[in-house]
C-alpha cells in the first residue's frame, strides 16, 4: 500500500514495488494520475483507492477494498505529504496547522488501518524529511510534522515489535519532485541559490539533488528480506547534506 502515489517519491515507489513483483494499492487525491500510473505498471492485482488519506472515510474505504481484494497487507509506504509556507505568529492558526492535520493525522490513520491487515513480518515505512531535524524560515508547520513522524515511527516500532511488525522512516533531503516547485512557480533546484550553495558550494557533498527512484530503492530494501533486524530507525537519504557545516 502506497500513499502519495500520484507523483514524486510515491510514484517512483509504486513503480519500484510493482517491478519487485508486489501487488500495489495506489492512494492519492488525483485519481486520473493514479489510473495513468496503474496502466503502466507490470501485471499484478493492483488497486486504485483515491482520496485524502487524512479523511477517515477514505481510509475506511481503502480498508474495505483491501480486505475484499487482497485480505492482507504486507507493506505500507506512506509517501503522501503537503507543504505550506507559514509564519508561526502571523498565519491564522487553522492554516498553520494544516500540515499537522493532513500529514500526522493521515499517517496515524493509514498506520492503524494497515496494521489491522498486517501479518507478522509486515513493514511500516513513513517518508519523512531531513526537516525533522533541520529548520528554515516559513516551514515551521512542515518541520514540526516531520519531527513528529520520526517519533511516531519509533513509538510504533516499540509497540508493534511483539507482533513482528517493523517500522522505519526515510528522511530525504533535496529530491527532484513536484514539491520542489515554489509558490511563484519556479523550481528551487534549478535556482542560482541552489547552484551556488549546493552544486558549486560545499554544503552538499554529492553536488546534486536526489532522484525519487533513489528513495524508492531504500523503501524496497526496508521492505525486503535483508532488513529483518532494522526497526525504529530514520534512514537519511540526502547526498551527505546533513553531515556538513
Q: What is the mean pLDDT of residues 108-124?
A: 98
pLDDT at 88: 94
Per-residue pLDDT at 83: 87
**CATH number of the domain within which 111 lies:** 3.40.50.720
Instruction: Assess if residue 132 is contained within a domain.
Output: yes
- Mean pLDDT over 228-237 rounds to 98
**Over the stretch 118-162, which tens digit does the pLDDT of each residue have?**
999 999 999 999 999 999 999 999 999 999 999 999 999 999 999
Residues 223-227, mean pLDDT to the nearest whole number: 98
Torsion of CA 139, 140, 143, 148, to 10 degrees: -160
Give start and end residues of each alpha helix (H) in 2-139: 8-19, 31-39, 56-69, 93-96, 98-99, 105-115
Q: Is residue 191 part of a domain?
A: no
Query: Can 22 be counted among the known catalytic residues?
Result: no
For residue 192, is it within any domain? no
Active-site annotation holder among 22, 53, 142, 198? 142
- DSSP E strand stretches across the chain: 2-3, 25-27, 47-48, 75-78, 123-127, 166-172, 234-237
* Section 102-121 average pLDDT: 97
Residues composing the chain: 245
Inside any domain, residue 130: yes
What rounded mean pLDDT belongs to the chain?
95
Asked whether residue 182 carries a pLDDT value surpassing 80, the answer given is no
Q: Which domain holds residue 90?
A: 2-181+211-243
pLDDT average, residue stretch 56-74: 98
Per the structure, the count of domains in the chain is 1
Q: Report the first-to-last Cα separation within the chain, whole angstroms.
A: 37
Q: List Cα–Cα distances, 67 to 21, 50, 71, 110, 167, in angstroms.
A: 20, 16, 4, 14, 22
Q: What is the pLDDT of residue 178?
A: 82
**Phi and psi (nearest 5°) for 88?**
-55, -40
| Residue at 205 is within a domain | no
- The answer to whether position 57 is within a domain reads yes
pLDDT at 184 over 80: no
Is pLDDT above 80 for 181? Answer: no
User: What pLDDT shows up at residue 84?
Assistant: 85
Q: What is the pLDDT of residue 21?
A: 97
Query: What is the arithmetic mean of pLDDT over 54-83?
Result: 97
201, part of any domain: no
Is residue 127 assigned to a domain? yes
Is residue 208 within 8 Å of 197, Cβ to Cβ?
A: no
Amino acid at each position: 500500500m502506497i500513499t502519495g502515489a500520484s507523483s514524486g517519491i510515491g510514484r517512483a515507489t509504486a513503480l519500484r514495488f510493482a517491478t519487485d513483483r508486489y501487488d500495489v494499492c495506489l492512494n492519492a487525491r488525483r485519481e486520473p494520475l493514479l489510473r495513468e500510473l496503474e496502466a503502466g505498471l507490470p501485471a499484478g492485482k493492483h488497486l486504485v483507492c483515491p482520496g485524502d488519506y487524512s479523511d477517515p472515510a477514505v481510509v475506511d474505504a481503502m480498508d474495505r477494498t483491501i480486505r475484499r481484494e487482497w485480505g492482507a497487507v504486507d507493506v505500507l509506504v506512506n509517501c503522501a505529504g503537503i507543504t505550506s509556507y507559514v509564519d508561526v505568529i502571523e498565519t491564522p492558526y487553522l492554516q498553520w496547522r494544516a500540515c499537522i492535520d493532513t500529514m500526522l493525522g493521515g499517517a496515524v490513520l493509514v498506520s492503524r488501518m494497515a496494521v489491522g491487515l498486517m501479518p507478522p513480518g509486515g513493514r511500516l515505512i513513513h517518508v519523512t524529511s531531513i526537516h525533522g531535524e533541520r529548520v528554515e524560515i516559513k516551514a515551521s508547520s512542515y518541520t514540526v510534522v516531520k519531527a513528529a513522524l520520526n517519533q511516531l515511527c519509533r513509538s510504533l516500532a516499540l509497540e508493534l515489535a511483539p507482533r513482528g511488525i517493523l517500522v522505519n522512516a526515510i528522511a530525504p533531503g533535496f529530491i527532484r519532485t513536484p514539491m520542489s516547485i515554489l509558490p511563484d512557480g519556479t523550481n528551487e533546484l534549478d535556482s542560482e541559490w541552489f547552484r551556488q550553495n549546493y552544486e558549486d558550494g560545499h554544503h552538499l557533498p554529492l553536488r546534486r539533488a536526489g532522484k525519487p527512484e533513489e528513495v524508492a530503492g531504500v523503501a524496497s530494501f526496508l521492505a525486503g528480506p535483508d532488513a529483518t533486524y532494522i526497526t525504529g530507525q530514520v534512514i537519511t537519504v540526502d547526498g551527505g547534506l546533513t553531515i556538513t557545516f
